[in-house]
A and B are shown apart, each in its own frame.
Chain A
Amino acid sequence: MAAYISVPTWWQNLDSRYRLTIGECGECGTTKFPPEGACINCAAPGSALEPVEPEGTGEIVAHTVIEGGEPPEFSKLIDTEGSIGAVLVELDEGARVPGMLTDCDPHEFGRGDRVEATVRRIYEQEGVIRYGAKFRPSND
């Protein structure tokens, strides 16, 4: 059984799922992910947020490796990859995004490492495959 994120719920934020679209507050310039709801800095309403497609690069600010006890929708991923690196990435534009590490051994990376976004399978539920952004080590 997986967390019930309905397909329409997933679909509502496809640009943020695929391309990490963030919102820049028209009042104070703070960026937020995803681009909806009140500004996290000045509380200006969501309508003040301007959607911006970021570069997709940033730095890991929090990091953990899940070896077990994972949400059931990721059991297969644990089976195929052995562990999941769950990170908080601060994009170069400022907004913070939660994401999985991919294309690397998550034990070998941590706070301060640079990463870049790439699109991978997130999980499948009720026959519908959900794709989204994950982060891999960046070369820069």
Chain B
Amino acid sequence: MQNVYVVGAAQSEFGAFPDESYRSLFSSAFENAVESVDKNFDRTEVDEAFIGTLGVGGRQLGLSGPAVTEYVGLNGTPSTRVENACAASGVALRQAVTSIRAGVSDIAVAGGVEIMTDMSGEQTRYWLGVSGETEWERMAGTTFAGVYAQMASAHMDEYDTTREHLSRVAAKNHGNGSKNPHAHLGFNCSLEDAMEAATIADPLNLYDCCPTSDGASVAILASRETAEELTDSPVRITGSGQASGTVGLFQRPTITGIPATTKAAEQAYEEADVEAKDIDFAEVHDCFSIAELMAYEDLGFCEKGEAGPYIASGATEPDGERPVNLSGGLKSKGHPIGATGTGQCAEVFKQLRGEAGDRQVDGLELGLTHNVGGSGGAVAVHIYEEGWA
């Protein structure tokens, strides 16, 4: 499958910004992405834009794609909003990849934006609930944390996963996020603090749950020929995969993993002609600590049921054999729903080009991003390598 090049990628700050709008945050991410392009970039050359956003808060539900692309001067550019809950911009990325592979675009923009912190408590709880299966699961009182907590309860009962394993995700990701100037919760957190935090939805506690955040992210993609004019240090997407799963946990064949992850990853691995064991580092979707553990298994980084021992071995620490979530993950970096997918792409882009500052790990060659919508209704997986092909 034809390679597509990431010539620029960046995120805005993720956090709580009462004085920012979804447009101003998108603009911030877009300009950061433009700045990350090595050579001169003319935004009027963008052929197509795909913007992921859930529209939390009910703001600009209609035409939110054009609303942000016009704002940054992409006048008249075909612009489409992508919705797949938290997988929105991961899927937007795939749409941009597909557009270039199809020869429809030479330059395509994929991005996402979300504002989540400006609503009342009641509104926030309402909007957090709508990523789940609304008619039945939500009517069982299952909050978003509740669905993942149910998966955790099953995973911990069926395998040797412990409370400590869950908290290791938080401690690791906060350690990484503390070195990320764009992180929402960029502070360190000890394993003990993570284990003793207040319960949110048993067995998940406060430190097992990512925050709600404001933020935006953008990736600028190009075909091979156009990329040569724009970048000195190319990062190419060698594999793209997407899959769907049931929206509700109750109709799914398994409750201790996300089948759509495995399916999307298989497709990406095949396109990239690699296997799970070849992946050097990854940005995975740790909306809840259990989600990162299940991702290790579903992506093939370890055997089914072995995620607990795997993280305990230190394998996914920055100095481990396969660092995961060097950006701080959703837990520390933040999770503005529409912006997370391309935000993950931005981290991989930086790491492969040696531009990740204090978070930089040397010698990384093959990266993976994993972006999940809801509890697994949609998943997008991408694989990246550095250099021309």
Report which A residues bind B (CB closer than 8 A): 1-3, 5, 9, 13, 32-34, 40, 61-72, 74-75, 77, 84, 86-88, 96-100, 107, 110-111, 122-123, 130, 132
Contacts and interface: CB of A to CB of B under 8 A. Distances in A.
A66 B146 contact: yes
Q: Which residue of B137, B141, B149 has the most chain A CB atoms within 10 A of its CB atom?
A: B141
A100 B135 CA distance: 14
Contact of A71 (B125, B246, B248, B251): B125
Interface in B240-269: 246, 248-251, 253, 255
Contacts of A97: 136, 250
B150 A62 contact: yes
Nearest to A135: B140
Q: Which residue of B126, B134, B137, B250 has the most chain A CB atoms within 10 A of its CB atom?
A: B250
Interface string B122-136: 110110111001111
Contact of A69 (B125, B137, B255): B125
A3 B150 contact: no
B150 A71 contact: no
Contacts of B226: none
A22 B129 CA distance: 25
Nearest to B133: A98
B201 A64 contact: yes
B253 A40 contact: yes
A123 B129 CA distance: 15
23 contacts: A1-B123, A3-B134, A5-B134, A5-B135, A13-B135, A34-B136, A40-B253, A63-B153, A64-B203, A65-B201, A66-B141, A66-B143, A67-B201, A69-B143, A69-B145, A69-B201, A70-B143, A71-B125, A86-B142, A98-B248, A111-B153, A122-B139, A130-B139
A72 B122 contact: yes
B157 interface: yes
B150 A63 contact: yes
A69 B128 contact: yes
A88 B134 contact: no
Q: Which residue of A32, A64, A122 has the most chain B CB atoms within 10 A of its CB atom?
A: A64
B191 interface: no
B74 interface: no
Interface residues of B, number: 40
A54 to B, nearest CB: 14
Interface in B202-256: 202-204, 246, 248-251, 253, 255
A70 B125 contact: yes
B151 A67 contact: no
Contact of B140 (A34, A40, A100): A100
A2 B135 CA distance: 12
Given A5-B134, A66-B146, A88-B150, A61 B255 contact: yes
